[in-house]
Structure 1
């Protein structure tokens, strides 16, 4: 039986671990010798996982904004700017991925779509015509049925309990 390459993964839900799962898959792929490209939507360039993953010669992490806000805190002008920015970042990421990468991780792209900061049709159109060999990982809260249908793997990460619910802020090295 031939090994199929170029599958689409979705990690979604309200639980902690979506990005962690995607980054773990990226580390595994890089360890195997695959070239990995990562872009994190809705996050600044300070997440801790970037520090260790940048040490791998097989992983490239594209920079985003130096400072990011929650989408609910954006003004209408900032929302317009983000829509332009994230559309451009998506296009840059997929174009770069097509130039010699085996894995493309679009962290929080589903959340970005939900927040109205990236058109879902741009993403679904790309998934339909992406290079056959390219493995694509998407994360976020609630993917549409169209995204779920396009995916080969869909894993829901459900929160049962989280320290945030009792006022605990995100901790460096654990959530950040």
Structure 2
């Protein structure tokens, strides 16, 4: 059995999720089983519908809409944290039981930073993951402990973005 690796796509630039989705497309095209789980994003993110059309790809449901963490009350944060932990556990178990090849945890780094996902749970899984499972985590600023676990770290650096001139995110391009 081939050793699975841990990938991190990080940085302040646009394209971390896009890179992870590209890897899912490549894996699907090679007959691999892929699980795609997102945090901090609602169901309306554009990549979700396309990924559902690919053979061998399972896309976990997201909440219909989700607030930014700084807009949430403590009760809402508790609810989101419990939901994220539950969805993570389900995906982690399914990856093992169904012999998946690739588990994508989109925006997991941000969910960990905002304490909307259990750090202990994710770190334990990364350290004890099935030997052949490839895992991708995306988000802006991974901490040192996550980076030490990673085999690949790719940084997406922003040089220019229309958002800096006050433009809003566009469906199908930024989300």
* TM-score, normalisation: structure 1: 0.95
Between Structure 1 and Structure 2, how many residues are aligned?
A: 174
- Per-residue CA shift, 1:37-69, capped at 9, x if unaligned? 001111111111112111112111000111111
Partner of 1:117: 116
* SS of aligned partner of 1:30: helix
Within 5 A, what are the aligned runs for 1:1-176?
4-100=2-98, 101-176=100-175
* SS of aligned partner of 1:98: helix
Pairwise CA RMSD: 1.1
Kept in 1: contact 2:2–2:131 (CA 8 A): no
Distance 1:134 1:85 in 2: 24
Unpaired runs of 5+ residues, structure 2, are: none
* TM-score, normalisation: structure 2: 0.96
Unpaired runs of 5+ residues, structure 1, are: none
Give the Å deviation of 1:4.
Answer: 4.1
Aligned structure 1 segments of 4 or more residues deviating by more than 2 angstroms: none
Distance 1:149 1:87 in 2: 23
Distance 2:73 2:14 in 1: 27
